[in-house]
């Protein structure tokens, strides 16, 4: 859900959009609902090799988040074929723009489902997703936007100015019913992020296909965990993502790199809670030393999670608090304009 605002920005655009979504009301880590029996059984099955016919957990039915993953085990060919078709269609719509990006000597970086479906799941259709999340480097922002536009994609997020200036980090793109979200940060409002993203985020990547990269395993896990923190409800498929990525980090021997980058986010204690849950409930292979170290790393700034969860409009105000310089002034006048025009951006609904 979003609130569309038209107001002044600082020089780059007079159109401002504030997207206020549930994903930016951060979770209370103390109230995480543990994974259900289906999720536990699915993770155990995958960690033991995902041998066909070896899943021994409850039947997920047709509505569970993991139904596509377990459809083959339950002999539900209709679900398997449907999800395979969805994945194939999405991939075919997105591939031409990836080829154009590669042709211009650039790349985008898949995060979450668009990476994991093809790299850690037994088959792509087993990892359900509504859109493709792609990270772009700041230096390539305008180039990538231009390539998408020339490739027939339309922008679904008004307010180019606040995206180009970094006040918000997301731009939605649409073509033939498919949606791509271009990101420059894992938090929608980057100014509210208490620490720093990994300095090696765009290094040592995995080539997924021309124009498309995947983060190194330790960073892929970190980005998934940070995304999980930004959601009130934890989907079962996200627990599976975390579990499988922990296995990849262990195989790569890169837990030290993960810990270093997790410390830098200043959200170490919250990250440790997620890892502890995944380890205890799903038997995810997480070194005890990593969880202990992160749990002790409370920076004193993790209360941002509670603050961002406190109200539907609070993230907008927190963004104003944490912005600096002309960005702060621009955001203030945009919000003031909304109040004066009667759109009441801060009113609870």
Per-residue model confidence as pLDDT tens digits over 191-249: 999 999 999 999 999 999 999 999 999 999 999 999 998 887 889 999 999 999 999 99
Residue 40 in tokens: 């536990």
CA atoms within 13 A on the CB side of 41: 15
Between these two residues, 145 and 32, which has the higher pLDDT value?
145
Residue 237 in tokens: 């498929």
Average pLDDT over residues 128-157: 94
Residue 202 in tokens: 């765009």
Crossing angle of the two packed helices 217-229 and 255-264, in degrees rounded to 10:
40
Between these two residues, 166 and 178, which has the higher pLDDT value?
178
Average pLDDT over residues 125-149: 94
Q: Where are the beta strands (DSSP E) in the chain?
A: 3-6, 15-18, 108-111, 132-135, 154-155, 170-175, 178-183, 206-209, 212-214
DSSP string across 263-330: HHTT-HHHHHHHHHHHHHHH-----HHHHHHHHT---S-TTHHHHHHS-SSHHHHHHHHH--HHHHHH
The CA-based dihedral angle spanning residues 8, 11, 16, 22, taken in that order and rounded to the nearest 10 degrees: -120
- Predicted confidence at residue 60, as pLDDT, reads 97
Average pLDDT over residues 142-169: 88
Per-residue pLDDT tens digits for 170-201: 999 999 999 999 999 999 899 999 999 999 99
pLDDT at 69 over 60: yes
- Predicted confidence at residue 158, as pLDDT, reads 59
Residue 271 in tokens: 């990250």
DSSP 31: G
> Strand 206-209 relative to strand 170-175: parallel, antiparallel, unpaired?
unpaired
- Predicted confidence at residue 163, as pLDDT, reads 86
- C-alpha to C-alpha distance for 7 and 339, rounded to whole angstroms: 11
Residue 246 in tokens: 């922990």
Helix/strand/coil for 208: strand
Asked which of 7-11, 134-138, 287-291, 343-347 is least confident by mean pLDDT, the reply is 7-11
For the chain, state the CA radius of gyration. 20
The model's pTM is 0.88
pLDDT at 310 over 70: no
- Predicted confidence at residue 196, as pLDDT, reads 96
Give the pLDDT band of residue 336 (cuts 50, 70, 90). confident
- Predicted confidence at residue 339, as pLDDT, reads 75
Domain boundaries, the chain: 3-51+65-340
What separation in angstroms does the CA of 259 have from each of 116, 201, 297?
21, 14, 10
Between these two residues, 331 and 71, which has the higher pLDDT value?
71
- Predicted confidence at residue 312, as pLDDT, reads 63
Average pLDDT over residues 98-105: 97
CATH architecture designation of domain 3-51+65-340: 2-Layer Sandwich (3.30)
């Amino acid at each position: 859900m979003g609130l569309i605002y038209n107001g002044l920005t600082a020089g780059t655009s007079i159109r401002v959009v504030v997207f206020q979504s549930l994903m930016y009301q951060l979770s209370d880590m103390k109230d995480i609902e543990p994974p259900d029996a289906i999720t536990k059984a699915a993770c155990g099955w995958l960690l033991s090799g995902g041998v066909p016919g070896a899943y021994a957990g409850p039947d997920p039915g047709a509505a569970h988040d993991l139904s596509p993953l377990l459809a083959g085990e339950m002999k539900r060919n209709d679900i398997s074929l449907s999800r395979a078709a969805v994945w194939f269609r999405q991939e075919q719509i997105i591939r031409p723009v990836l080829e154009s990006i590669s042709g211009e000597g650039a790349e985008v970086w898949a995060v979450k489902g668009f990476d994991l479906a093809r790299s850690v799941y037994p088959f792509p259709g087993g990892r359900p997703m509504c859109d493709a999340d792609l990270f772009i480097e700041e230096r390539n922002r305008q180039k990538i936007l231009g390539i998408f536009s020339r490739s027939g994609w339309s922008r679904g997020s008004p307010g180019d100015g606040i995206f180009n200036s970094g006040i918000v980090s997301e731009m939605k793109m649409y073509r033939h019913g498919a949606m791509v979200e271009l990101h420059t940060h894992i938090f929608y409002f980057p100014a509210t992020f208490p620490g720093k993203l990994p300095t090696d985020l765009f290094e040592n990547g995995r080539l997924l296909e021309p124009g498309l990269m995947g983060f190194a395993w330790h960073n892929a896990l970190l980005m998934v965990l940070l995304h999980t923190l930004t959601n009130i409800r934890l989907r079962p498929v996200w627990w599976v993502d975390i579990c499988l990525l922990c296995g990849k980090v262990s195989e790569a021997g890169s837990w030290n790199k993960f810990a270093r980058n997790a410390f830098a986010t200043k959200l170490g204690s919250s990250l440790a809670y997620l890892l502890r849950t995944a380890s205890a409930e799903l038997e995810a292979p997480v070194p005890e030393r990593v969880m202990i170290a992160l749990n002790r790393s409370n920076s004193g700034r993790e209360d941002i999670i509670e603050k961002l969860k406190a109200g539907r409009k609070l993230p907008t105000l927190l963004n104003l608090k944490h912005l600096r310089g002309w960005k702060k002034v621009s955001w203030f006048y945009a919000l003031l304009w909304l109040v004066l025009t009667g759109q009441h951006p801060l009113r609870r609904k």
